[in-house]
Amino acid sequence: MQKHLLTEEHLMFQEAARAFVKKEVVPFHDEWEKQGCVSRELWQKAGQQGMLCTDFPEKYGGLGLPDFRYNAIVGEELAFVGASGPGFILHNDVVAPYALKYFTEEQKARWMEKMVLGEIITAIAMTEPGTGSDLAAVATTAIKKGDRYILNGSKTFITNGILSNLVIVVAKTDPSQQHGGISLLVVEEGMKGFTRGKNLEKIGLKAQDTAELFFEDVEVPVENLLGKEGQGFIYLMQNLPQERVSIASIGIAGAEAALDLTIKYCKERKAFGRPIGKFQNSRFKLAEMKTEITIARTFVDQCILELNAGKLSVEKAAMAKYWVTDLQCKVMDECVQLHGGYGYMSEYPIARAYTDSRVQRIYGGTNEIMKEIIGRSMGF
């Protein structure tokens, strides 16, 4: 975020987050990309340093700071160094709000402190092999039988899918209904019938574990229902704006980092006896990117402040997600072009940033869906 929007406490937290990323993430990220997964120890270290679930109450080990600026700092510090592996953003920005809003006191006592400490790693399982943005069409079922739900189905493209030991699963508790039949169940590692597929191989985000999840007659206690039965779709819709602002936040940070890399390259790389940044085309491209990134940064920060105030609309969050991630991908493409052949080499950070950024326009609701949301808000 822009410095003038941060308090002294935010700046201290930012400094701590930056130091943590520099020490505990940057030196190991290349190896994690080869492994396809970060270490569990990283999560525990992040928990010890207060990087996880900062908005959880102090009684559960959190900082008691319901301020998304802290979340944005963690996500942006990772984005600034191209560290796409740690799934902290999903844990902090996507799953934590469900815990805060819908966990019962008993569930809070069971799971919250371990989430703060990184001992519990979370995931949320929405997408299915045959169902993407159309959540009303989920085929996974959870049929109540006595004091249990019998869960059957499969999910795919699940972030933290390998490391997670607590998964919020979107399922139909009433298959005869559409939106009204959806509920959220918390599935724990070790439940009989809950298995994971392979760590999926992606074109980017190589260090981030993304997996298929399978549920075959999994007996989920009724105590693991999240909130009320049949309210799952409403809960998802209420929490998606924060997820989309989170995506926009790391998107603009990634674009800023790519521009910084490219400016440095354009000052050092020479052609025809002078730095390539001296050529008009290069200067114009850099000027265009700087301008658009500045506009996007201002908009994203505004959205974060509105989110904090409880005033962010669904359509404005959709605007931020769609426009910023489109810009992010445009910036990455321009930066690769300015790097020339070196930009196509995986050893160069800009090449990895290019492939990592592409999924931003897909997850959290595709950008086409974002435009649909905006269009409907206009009365169409």
Active site residue 201: no
Determine the angle formed by the axes of helices 314-339 and 349-357, rounding to 10 degrees.
150
8 Å CB contact between 55 and 96: yes
Helices and strands in the chain, H and E counts: 12, 10
C-alpha–C-alpha distance, residues 321 and 308, integer Å: 17
CB atoms within 10 A of CB 209: 24
8 Å CB contact between 336 and 328: no
Say which of 33, 76, 113, 243 is annotated catalytic: 243
Q: Chain centroid to CA 340: how far?
A: 30
Paired with 79 in beta bridges are none
Among residues 181, 353, 112, the alpha carbon closest in space to that of 250 is found at: 353
C-alpha–C-alpha distance, residues 152 and 220, integer Å: 11
CB atoms within 10 A of CB 10: 18
Residues marked as catalytic = 243
